[in-house]
Amino acid sequence: MTMNNPFQVASRPNLNLKTIRKPKRWPIWIGATAACLAGLWFLSQSSLMPPSFKNMLHPWGDNSHIFTGNSELTRDKAQALYRQALTDLNDGNSQKALDEFKQLESVYPGLEDMLWLHEAECYAGQGNEWAVQKKLNTLISSKVSSPLKTVALYRIGQSQYRGSEWQQAQETFTQVRQANPKSSYALGSLYYQGMLLSKNKKTQSQAISPLMQYLSQCPDCKFSGDTADQLEKLIPQPTAVEHGLIGLADAGSSKDIKKTIRHLSQGPRGLTWLALGKSQIAAGQTQAGIQTLLQGLPEAKDADSAKLAIDAILAHRPDPKQQIATLKALSEEHLPIGGDYILWKLAEIDDEQASSHYQTLMQDFPQSDYAPESGWHLLWPLINSGNTPTYLSQAQHYLTQYPYARSAPKVLFWMAKLQETTKPLVATAEYERILEQYPTSYYAFRAKGRLQALTGGKKDIGWITNAQRSDYPPTQTELNQLDILPPPEQFADGNTGRMLRNEAQELQIIGAADDVKLLVGEALQDELPPAVASWAEQTSGDRAKGMRIIRDALEKETKALFIAEASNHQKFKPAGTENEMKLLYPIYFTQPVLNGGRKNQVDPYLIQALMREESYFNEFAISGSNARGLMQLLPATAKDVAGWENMPSFQTNDLFVPDVNIRLGSRYLGYLHQLFNGNAMPAVGAYNGGPNAMKRWVSGSNLLATDPDLFVERIPYEQSRDYIKKVFAGYWNYTRLYTHQ
């Protein structure tokens, strides 16, 4: 049998060379380059190439339909023009923005639905309602598979409403409600339909139903105040429910608090008690408001309402003895909701009976959100008293019952540390478990140090930082480049899903937060994914809100994963992708942080972590003690530090300027480092609790030298104790995320 030779060149067919034009000979390098590119293209389409390499070849994904480009508008220039158009639109420069959006149509075929929406906004800014409707109808009638068609239909209705085309507007809003009855646009359509009906005396009585439906579904929405005002005109004698809903809407929007109280007091108590009590207190009727809240607590429908009421009551009974008496009286009522929070507050205020209150809370409310932390408060005295065997036994039970709790890594850390001498292998395994299951916690930071001492033959580096580091700022800190969008199949099936995700990705890179929220929200027909919502808020300027969104979502997901592991015997994997973690620990103000770190011999990642904890990067933050700006400096302290920095023109309001605030804050932190011999841990604690207090704590024992972990746990100020842990947890996560240590 003859084997084919894989290296044999196939014979050429006989060709009549006279009839074939001899091709031009291109340089060899051109052919070689073409062959390489063809090979790379083939590999990129196959499953053999790693995804990371594919992304290098196709940094924008498979989205060639998004951008076509031309000689005048490269992709970078088009993205910049889109940003400028949004700025002009928001600034009221409608014609300039319109010209810019129209220019973008020629290079952005994949964004045409969003461009048409913006062009309609420009026409609306010019008062040209005919052009608004024409442009929106272009989107609706187009062949584009866009989830924004319902939005366009709704905006046509708004345009018709503005243009007094009332009959057409009614019909349009009816279509919106039929097309997507559970959407926010269907809810807004109820408002508009009610207002349209109220314009005609013959149909005013019909307006009450849609307006009441609107308020019942959302008493604190955008149009709630206007809806309440209109209903007051339409209903001469409201029912109790109508009084209640009007009052709830007024509570969030009305400046006439007397009118608000009048409506709320005539509404159903189960519906209005919380808003009524808070309104009475705001109006100066403090005792009446407290009494309303006390009487209404049994009506609480959820834990948040109960907590708000209890906090409001305690805030206006500032004497601790009076607070304890109030809470004990409430505890004896055995409220259906809020009993756990009452016990939690009792333990917080009533020091002498705190242990008893914690025990009762865990016994009566074992599934409460406050039960895990109550358990820690009962465990800690066992360590302080040296009762190690009992601690180890009870701690194991705690971790079985509450593996998801915030205190769980702390409980596990002290289990490990107490066994370092007697059972080093057990201690090692428990430290490793902390790093595996609680990798973002302060105790993972400390577990890493203890493992170095136990198994690495190295010294526990403790809280040592690196002021001389060369890896700050990190190379990639741009939130717009993070992969935070849902997969294509969540947008839509097949190629449509891929196209929509690519469109959202392009808008994300541009930084068009509202556009991304609109597109993703309409495509998913659900709440925005937390990562998208977090990115959008941070991109829009509300960094603190964005970080809280992703923080709360990851905590919720972590708890669910722990529960799933326990019930299904699944291997636990901590919540949070690298991109989600970068939303939780973003890098901002890199240059002033770098300058401050170099000048004052402070690790820039420590400045970043401290700034994050102080203000969540809100440069206009003001605390209850009047600390201001990114690093929350008190005006008196800032004035002193400004003197050190030779800034004679410094004014208190300069603390809202990021460069100034970071300059003064990093200088003060550097001073505290020097005060405590370069030890970052007491320096950070002193930043919060004050240098004099920290000096007392350091001199009060030798724990800082012999057992710094125990020193931290025994700091008398709970706020300063937790502050150290939060800042160093941040430092740990910044170095993990951005230096890959």
Backbone angles phi, psi at 116, to 5 degrees: -65, -40
What is the CA angle 719-722-724, rounded to 5? 110
Q: Which tokens go with 175?
A: 């279509």
Q: pLDDT tens digits for 101-118?
A: 999 999 999 999 999 999
- Look at the chain and count its residues: 741
The answer on pLDDT for 47 being more than 60 is: no
| 668: containing domain | 590-739
Pick from 428, 403, 406, 402: nearest CA to 415: 428
Higher pLDDT: 341 or 571? It is 341
pLDDT of residue 38: 45
pLDDT of residue 571: 61
Under DSSP, the state recorded for 212 is H
Backbone angles phi, psi at 622, to 5 degrees: -130, 125
- Does the residue 623 lie in any domain? yes
Give dist(CA 643, CA 706) in Å, integer.
Answer: 37
Q: pLDDT tens digits for 80-101?
A: 999 999 999 999 999 999 999 9
Question: What's CA 282's distance to the chain center, in Å?
Answer: 30
Give dist(CA 670, CA 666) in Å, integer.
Answer: 6
Helices (H) then strands (E): counts for the chain: 39, 0
Q: pLDDT tens digits for 633-659?
A: 999 999 999 999 999 999 999 999 999
pLDDT of residue 55: 38
Contacts of 577 (CB under 8 A, 6+ apart): none
Q: pLDDT tens digits for 527-562?
A: 899 999 999 999 999 999 999 999 999 999 998 888
The answer on pLDDT for 3 being more than 60 is: no
Higher pLDDT: 284 or 526? It is 284
Torsion of CA 59, 65, 70, 72, to 10 degrees: -70
Helices (H), 569-657: 578-584, 590-600, 604-615, 635-644
Question: Tokens 């991304």 correspond to what residue?
Answer: 516
Average pLDDT over residues 210-239: 95
Average pLDDT over residues 32-36: 46
The answer on pLDDT for 43 being more than 60 is: no
Distance, first Cα to last Cα, the chain: 60
Q: Which tokens go with 263?
A: 């409506």
Contacts of 409 (CB under 8 A, 6+ apart): 434, 437, 438, 441, 442, 443, 444
Give dist(CA 646, CA 473) in Å, integer.
Answer: 27
Q: What is the pLDDT of the chain when averaged over all its residues?
A: 90
- Does the residue 81 lie in any domain? no
Q: Which tokens go with 296?
A: 């209404």
Question: Tokens 């300039």 correspond to what residue?
Answer: 96
Confidence of residue 569 (pLDDT cuts 50, 70, 90): low
Contacts of 189 (CB under 8 A, 6+ apart): 154, 157, 173, 174, 176, 177
- Does the residue 604 lie in any domain? yes
Confidence of residue 574 (pLDDT cuts 50, 70, 90): confident
Confidence of residue 64 (pLDDT cuts 50, 70, 90): low
What percent of the chain is modeled with pLDDT above 70?
90
The answer on pLDDT for 57 being more than 90 is: no
Number of domains comprising the chain: 1
- Does the residue 636 lie in any domain? yes
Query: What SS3 state is found at 624?
Result: coil
Q: pLDDT tens digits for 150-193?
A: 999 999 999 999 999 999 999 999 999 999 898 999 999 999 99
Q: 549-552 — which CB contacts under 8 Å span 24+ positions?
A: 550/580, 550/583, 550/584, 551/584
- Does the residue 334 lie in any domain? no
Confidence of residue 58 (pLDDT cuts 50, 70, 90): very low
Pick from 117, 182, 119: nearest CA to 144: 117
CATH of the domain at 617: 1.10.530.10
- Does the residue 543 lie in any domain? no
- Does the residue 621 lie in any domain? yes
The answer on pLDDT for 23 being more than 80 is: no
pLDDT of residue 575: 80
Task: From residue 57, give the alpha-carbon distance in Å to each of 43, 479, 509.
Answer: 10, 21, 18
- Does the residue 7 lie in any domain? no
Contact between 440 and 551 (Cβ < 8 Å): no
Q: pLDDT tens digits for 580-597?
A: 999 999 999 999 999 999
Tell me the sheet residues that pair with 622. 628
